[in-house]
Amino acid sequence: MTSIPTAPARRTGPGWWRSAVVYQVYPRSFADGNGDGIGDLRGIRDRLDHLQWLGVDVLWISPVYPSPMADNGYDVSDYHDVDPTYGTLEELDGLIADLHERGMKLVMDLVANHTSDEHPWFIDSSSSPESEKRDWYWWRDEPNNWGSFFSGPAWTYCEGRAAYYMHLFAKKQPDLNWENPEVRHAVYDILRWWLDRGVDGFRMDVINLISKDPELPEAPVMPGQKYGNMRQSVIDGPRVHEYLAEMHREVFDKYDRDLLLVGETGETTVEEGRKYTDPDRRELDMVLHYEHVEIDHGAFKWDVRPFDLGRLRERLAAWQTGLADAGWNSLYWDNHDQPRIVSRYGDDGRWRTESAKLLATVLHLQRGTPFVYQGDEIGMTNYPFVSIDEVDDVEGVNYYHEAVAAGEDPEDVMRSLRAMCRDNGRTPMQWDDGPGAGFTTGDPWLAINPNHTEINVAAQKDDPDSVLSHYRRLIRLRHEDPVVVDGDFTLLDDVHPQLFAFRRRHESGELVVLANFSSEEAELGDLAQECRGEVALGAEGGPVLAPWEARVYRR
């Protein structure tokens, strides 16, 4: 039996996050401390032993601020408090203290591209064209043709202002106007307020959308679409780097602490990613790009395509090499917006355990900072959604109604939702095989996956071959082996139909990862010459990899 030692080694000082592992909690679905069926801060505090045992260094929690919950908290109505659903500010202070006591850090979600329409800023701004905050949002007498990311138009009419406001997401999420310096400074105040409270950094929601082309030009309309695709005018917009550098100067440079600054930058490119994260530019430490989680998207996310290993390998390698000498990668498969990776790129049936372990291996052994999303560590799967009534998420619900109204077969739409709907990643965390999965003693806000009777933390904790033990081993390897942190990256093969193989090289040695992304055996061919050294993870073996086998050599 393999023994699993504890006590991770932690680095401090500049760049400490290169050797760290982040764990993301979606508070609604992690642990319910008061039995009302919704996860909360009490629940998170009660489960910190799990995080410590796993060995993670940083906890990132999705928003817990007061919110009308049109988008589960990504619509903030007060940046300086905690929503009663999740607890109190005192409880959050308690969480910060608990984490610091355990040597862990807390990263908060900053949602500053938009606020809730119930935020006092928007209420004020929308009240009259004379409002002092009239330019805090994007108001126009006539809307342009942009569509929103969440279906429908990106503009909604407001009686009070007799004008339209822009919302790239739901209509209850009006976009802030970052062109206005007062808005930027109000956001910087929020950041300082939380840093002064003891938080250790931020994951900045859709931060690459904050700068829009101020002309707001009409956008191209794709075939079959009603509204224009505004991406060109909003993604990595004209002043985004200027704003982030200003934020750094105004806020982060003034704190002499080990902060972590992560930007969510959907649909950004390697070139832009490098700019955001080049330490000399003093913008962000790392970004969450989307390229590797859009491999199975067609023209848009609901147009589901088969997984393509070649494309995954090529895009991941592009980020590894693109940020090799400046900038830093974040590494993730899942978050609260993504379907479960084992159902997507792995095999959630016969090979669930093997493929979940393989996906973890290839992710964690790249160069960058890994993010574990709650449930990844036990190989949680997608939920078998049958009816739209089971879906809560605003993006999925809006899409369903729009597509069905446009004449699409509801069965086809449900098939897309089953594969891509964000609620796949939001079903409650599976702690044990009991009726509430150890998540709640009450009625869960979103259905628990029926497979929690088999897939749960309790069932995997003492099993050295479990997905959970594997995650723990990978995290420990990062803390102990400088090759994992600092080694360079080389893709070893770009044609094999089943293999993802790469090498990490460092003055202290090298690691080779050989992974078979298929349910059939894979011949290593020329790569068999890489089977040298000690097997650091996986089992000894010859020139053939078993289905979903990942083998790691260290020499």
Residues that bind ligand ISL (CB under 6 A): 71, 74, 111, 149, 169, 205-206, 264, 266, 301, 336-337, 395, 422
Q: Which of 57, 71, 75, 264 is catalytic?
A: 264
Please name the residue ranges forming H helices in 294-432: 309-322, 341-344, 352-364, 394-405, 410-420
436 binds, among ligand ISL, Ca ion, none (CB under 5 to 8 A by kind): none
Beta-carbon count within 10 A of 232 CB:
13
Q: Which of 32, 205, 348, 549 is catalytic?
A: 205
- Written as six digits, the tokens of 282 are 């003093």
Q: Which residues pair with 505 in a beta bridge?
A: 488, 510
In a 3-state reduction of DSSP, which class is residue 327?
Answer: coil
CB of 162 to ligand ISL, least distance (A): 27
CB of 194 or CB of 548, closer to ligand ISL: 194
CB of 165 to ligand ISL, least distance (A): 16
> CA 186, CA 183: separation in Å to the nearest integer?
5
> CA 158, CA 183: separation in Å to the nearest integer?
21
175 binds, among Ca ion, ligand ISL, none (CB under 5 to 8 A by kind): none
For residue 471, give every residue at least 6 positions away whose Cβ sits within 8 Å of its Cβ, in sequence order, or none: 54, 360, 372, 376, 377
Determine whether 264 is an active site residue. yes
CB of 26 to Ca ion, least distance (A): 13
Task: Output the CA torsion sign for 211, 213, 216, 217.
Answer: negative
Q: Which residues pair with 88 in a beta bridge?
A: none
503 binds, among Ca ion, ligand ISL, none (CB under 5 to 8 A by kind): none
Q: If you search the block for the tokens 């982030």, which residue do you land on? A: 244
169 binds, among Ca ion, ligand ISL, none (CB under 5 to 8 A by kind): ligand ISL
Q: Is 88 in the site for Ca ion (CB under 5 A)?
A: no
In a 3-state reduction of DSSP, which class is residue 160?
Answer: coil
135-166 burial, b if ≥16 CB within 10 A, otherwise e? ebbbbeeebbbbbbbbbbbbbbebeebebbbb
Closest-approach residue to Ca ion (CB): 40
CB of 40 or CB of 481, closer to Ca ion: 40
111 binds, among Ca ion, ligand ISL, none (CB under 5 to 8 A by kind): ligand ISL
Q: If you search the block for the tokens 């942009």, which residue do you land on? A: 146
38 binds, among ligand ISL, Ca ion, none (CB under 5 to 8 A by kind): Ca ion
CB of 96 to Ca ion, least distance (A): 19
CB of 262 to ligand ISL, least distance (A): 12
Under rule CB under 5 A, which residues in 15-54 are in contact with Ca ion?
Answer: 32, 34, 36, 38, 40
CB of 38 or CB of 372, closer to Ca ion: 38
CB of 448 to Ca ion, least distance (A): 15
34 binds, among Ca ion, ligand ISL, none (CB under 5 to 8 A by kind): Ca ion
The separation between CA 403 and the C-alpha centre of its own chain, rounded to angstroms, equals 26
> Is-contact 359 342, C-beta < 8 A?
yes
> CA 300, CA 294: separation in Å to the nearest integer?
9
CB of 91 or CB of 408, closer to Ca ion: 91
CB of 292 to Ca ion, least distance (A): 34
- Written as six digits, the tokens of 243 are 């704003």
> CA 211, CA 85: separation in Å to the nearest integer?
32
List interacting residues with Ca ion (CB under 5 A): 32, 34, 36, 38, 40
| Positions marked active-site | 205, 264
